[in-house]
């Protein structure tokens, strides 16, 4: 099967497996801007992502505790105003 259609600079995001094989270079280039979906017999089977998007999806997430510990403000002493103890107010229910 010969393909004479050029997919360069196309907004296409879905490819049949045989097309993706034949146009792998174009599919990989297109994945730089949008994920590219590969179908097999009409069913979505795989996705090609840019390496940057893949890295973001698979990088370990920091916990909130780690985030606070690595903050430039970690250990900084804060001056907070003293708490004012107010008498509770009555509420009519």
Dist CA 52 CA 50 (whole Å): 5
| Residue 81 in tokens | 């105003």
Protein fold of 14-59 = YefM-like fold (3.40.1620)
**Which residue would you say has higher pLDDT here, 38 or 80?**
38
For residue 1, CA distances in Å to 4, 21, 22, 84 come to: 10, 12, 10, 81
**Are the beta carbons of 35 and 54 closer than 8 angstroms?**
no
Beta-carbon contacts of 44 under 8 Å, excluding residues fewer than 6 positions away, are: 14, 37, 38
pLDDT band, very low/low/confident/very high, at 8 (cuts 50, 70, 90): low
User: pTM here?
Assistant: 0.56
Dist CA 12 CA 36 (whole Å): 8
**Which residue would you say has higher pLDDT here, 51 or 86?**
51
């Amino acid at each position: 099967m010969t393909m004479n259609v050029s997919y360069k600079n196309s907004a296409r995001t879905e490819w049949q497996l045989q097309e993706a094989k034949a146009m792998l270079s174009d599919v990989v280039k297109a994945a730089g801007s949008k994920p590219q979906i590969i179908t097999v017999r009409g069913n979505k089977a795989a996705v090609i992502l840019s390496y940057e998007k893949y890295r973001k999806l698979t990088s370990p997430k920091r916990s909130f505790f780690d985030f606070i510990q690595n903050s430039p403000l970690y250990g900084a002493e804060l001056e907070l105003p003293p708490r004012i103890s107010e008498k509770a107010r009555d509420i009519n229910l």
